[in-house]
């Protein structure tokens, strides 16, 4: 056995390409937003089963016996999980979440205290938890100092997914486009996406849009999450192909019509006070629709979003610096 020289460390090799990471992260966000209630619990249990094997015990209620306040259990460390899957990943009211936390923990403490060492609330709420959820958790901690408590949100979910093998992630989220797919840009896939969007624009009042280049720092100025920055930046190499497609389209205003659709959607989402990441999820879904997206359409959607981000008024332009005399 050969020992490592002093001061040297083994660097772990990332099993994923950058494009796999951002495509799968986006697919995960979409999947979590579409999973609520029992579907969310089932998805979480599937991920945990793949990650931990038989160490994770999938739990479901049996008639009047219920689930005793437990939606899943990790035997090796006594972690007990309770799931809260909000519809579309949006929390409309605070009380249902905090009441569920209090009630489900009370059930678990009454029925499962002999095996419970940790209690975790798993959720799909995308735009942040209310402070009431944090204070409720702290109250539970204070009353039960021998137990460990925590939340598992989208970031924690993502961390667990990316500890799986690539083939396991593909079984959950579908294939991710590769660098080869990006190199072999598929005009037919772009045509299908554009046609899908044009159908939706027919009923929209239309005025030509000012399609113009935007500052290169627009990506950073809008404070997008890293995986969305990477998606947009990765799409720039094919964005010119989208521009060429619009230039050759039989309807010369196709690009402007698509820009109008996106600008209207962006303004609506911004008015809901959604975060930049949540807005990008909605715009991406506007392009791709629902369900697993094949690699060719992932590349086409990425390139279309990059083109629109670069050439029309979705997201904000950094204000020009004042002119000094």
Q: Is the pLDDT of residue 64 over 70?
A: no
More confident residue, 317 or 7: 317
Which residue intervals of the chain bear CATH 3.40.91? 18-171
Q: Is the pLDDT of residue 27 over 90?
A: yes
Angle of the 276-288 helix axis to the 254-271 helix axis, nearest 10: 140
Across the range 239-263, mean pLDDT stands at 90
Which residues have CB under 8 Å from 30's CB, separation 6+? Answer: 281, 284, 285
Give the model's pLDDT for residue 275.
86
Give the model's pLDDT for residue 317.
65
Across the range 255-276, mean pLDDT stands at 88
More confident residue, 180 or 201: 180
Q: Is the pLDDT of residue 10 over 60?
A: no
Give the model's pLDDT for residue 175.
93
Q: Is the pLDDT of residue 278 over 50?
A: yes
For the chain, give the longest Cα–Cα distance: 78
Across the range 287-313, mean pLDDT stands at 86
pLDDT digits (tens, 9 = 90+) for 185-232: 999 999 999 988 888 665 545 454 444 444 557 777 778 888 998 998
Whole-prediction pTM:
0.83
Q: SS3 sequence, 84-108?
A: ECCHHHCCCCCHHHHHHHHHHHHHH
- In 3D space, the residue among 144, 24, 135, 130 whose CA is nearest the CA of residue 86 turns out to be 130
Helix (H) or strand (E) holding 41: helix 38-52
Across the range 72-90, mean pLDDT stands at 93
pLDDT digits (tens, 9 = 90+) for 90-130: 888 999 999 999 999 999 999 999 999 999 999 999 888 99
Give the model's pLDDT for residue 233.
87
pLDDT digits (tens, 9 = 90+) for 141-161: 999 999 999 999 999 999 999
The residue behind tokens 């990425």 is: 302
CATH class of segment(s) 18-171: alpha beta
| Structure token pair of residue 84 | 């809260």
């Amino acid at each position: 056995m050969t020992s490592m020289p002093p001061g040297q460390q083994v660097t772990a090799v990332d099993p994923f390409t950058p494009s796999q990471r951002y495509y799968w992260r986006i697919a995960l966000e979409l999947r979590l937003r579409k999973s609520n209630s029992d579907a969310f619990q089932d998805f979480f249990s599937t991920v945990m089963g793949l990650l931990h094997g038989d160490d994770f015990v999938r739990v479901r209620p049996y008639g009047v016996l219920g689930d005793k306040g437990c939606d899943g259990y990790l035997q090796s460390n006594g972690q007990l999980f309770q799931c809260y899957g909000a519809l579309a990943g949006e929390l409309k009211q605070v009380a249902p979440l905090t009441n569920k936390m209090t009630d489900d923990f009370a059930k678990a403490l009454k029925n499962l205290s002999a095996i419970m060492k940790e209690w975790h609330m798993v959720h799909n709420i995308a735009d942040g938890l209310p402070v009431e959820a944090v204070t409720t958790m702290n109250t539970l901690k204070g009353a039960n100092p021998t137990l460990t408590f925590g939340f598992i949100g989208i970031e924690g979910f993502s961390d667990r997914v990316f500890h799986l093998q690539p083939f396991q992630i593909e079984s959950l989220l579908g294939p991710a486009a590769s660098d080869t797919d990006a190199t072999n840009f598929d005009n037919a896939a772009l045509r299908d996406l554009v046609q899908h969007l044009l159908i939706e624009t027919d009923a929209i009042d239309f005025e030509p849009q000012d399609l113009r280049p935007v500052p290169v720092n627009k990506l950073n100025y809008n404070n997008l999450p890293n995986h969305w920055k990477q998606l947009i930046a990765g799409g720039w190499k094919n964005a010119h192909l989208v521009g060429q497609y619009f230039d050759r389209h039989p309807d010369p205003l196709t690009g402007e019509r698509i820009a109008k659709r996106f600008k209207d959607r962006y303004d609506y989402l911004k008015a809901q006070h959604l975060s930049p990441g949540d807005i990008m999820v909605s715009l991406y879904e506007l392009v791709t629709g629902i369900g697993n997206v094949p690699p060719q359409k992932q590349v086409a959607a990425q390139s279309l979003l990059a083109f629109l981000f670069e050439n029309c008024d979705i997201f904000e332009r950094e204000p020009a610096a004042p002119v000094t005399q």
